[in-house]
């Protein structure tokens, strides 16, 4: 692969942290009373309601709160998948932080931490891709654009394909 083996660990940590900053889903929805913008990051979402002052129009929610809000609704399953994807991504963040702080110890694990991070990012991307599809197919207003899903899948695949032989 194009990544040198000695830089694979740095790439794994950097891509995991970068993925935290990229929204996995962006949706603009026209509704009867106005318009909404949803920007969903792996661990939280920002919802902006157009036409309201900024302080009143912005709402931030974590996946568990958003899922509880959708309980019993048609959109409960996509939000549950988002929660599962957030759990996988949260695990990747923990592994990357441990790998960054204690590289020698992480390298001694029975599982290669670079491959572990690749698998976690790929799994999170796949789950969030399924959530995006379900948002689209279950009547969520607007078209969800899976910006970060593409990056999660790409980062995960790259980390799984890195040549770790020295």
Which structural domain, as residue segments, surrounds residue 151?
5-22+64-161
| Entry pTM | 0.91
11 falls within a domain: yes
pLDDT of 102:
94
pLDDT of 2:
62
Total structural domains in the chain?
1
C-beta contacts of 37-41 below 8 A and 24+ residues apart: 38/142, 38/144, 40/82, 41/148
79 falls within a domain: yes
Per-residue pLDDT, averaged over 3-16, amounts to: 87
pLDDT band at 160 (very low <50, low <70, confident <90, very high): very high
88 falls within a domain: yes
Relative to beta strand 25-31, strand 58-61 is unpaired
57 falls within a domain: no
28 falls within a domain: no
pLDDT tens, position by position, 107-148: 999 999 999 999 999 999 999 999 999 988 887 788 889 999
Average pLDDT, the chain: 91
For the chain, how many residues are written? 166
75 falls within a domain: yes
pLDDT of 154:
96
72 falls within a domain: yes
How far apart, in whole angstroms, are the C-alpha atoms of residue 57 and residue 37?
Answer: 10
**Helix, coil or strand: residue 13:** helix
49 falls within a domain: no
* Helix/strand number for the chain, H first, E second: 7, 4
């Amino acid at each position: 692969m194009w990544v040198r083996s000695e830089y694979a660990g740095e790439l794994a940590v950097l891509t995991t942290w970068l993925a935290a900053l990229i929204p996995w889903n962006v949706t603009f929805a026209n509704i009867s009373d106005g318009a909404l913008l949803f920007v969903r990051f792996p661990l939280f979402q920002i919802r902006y309601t157009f036409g309201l002052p900024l302080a009143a129009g912005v709402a931030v929610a974590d996946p568990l709160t958003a899922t509880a809000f959708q309980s019993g609704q048609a959109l409960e399953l996509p939000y549950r998948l988002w929660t599962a994807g957030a759990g996988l991504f949260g695990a990747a963040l923990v592994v990357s932080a441990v790998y960054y702080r204690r590289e020698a110890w992480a390298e001694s694990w029975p599982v290669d931490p670079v491959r572990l991070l690749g698998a976690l990012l790929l799994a999170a991307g796949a789950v969030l891709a399924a959530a995006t599809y379900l948002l689209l197919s279950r009547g969520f207003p607007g078209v969800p654009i899976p910006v970060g899903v593409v990056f999660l899948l790409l980062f995960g695949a790259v980390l799984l394909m890195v040549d770790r032989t020295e």
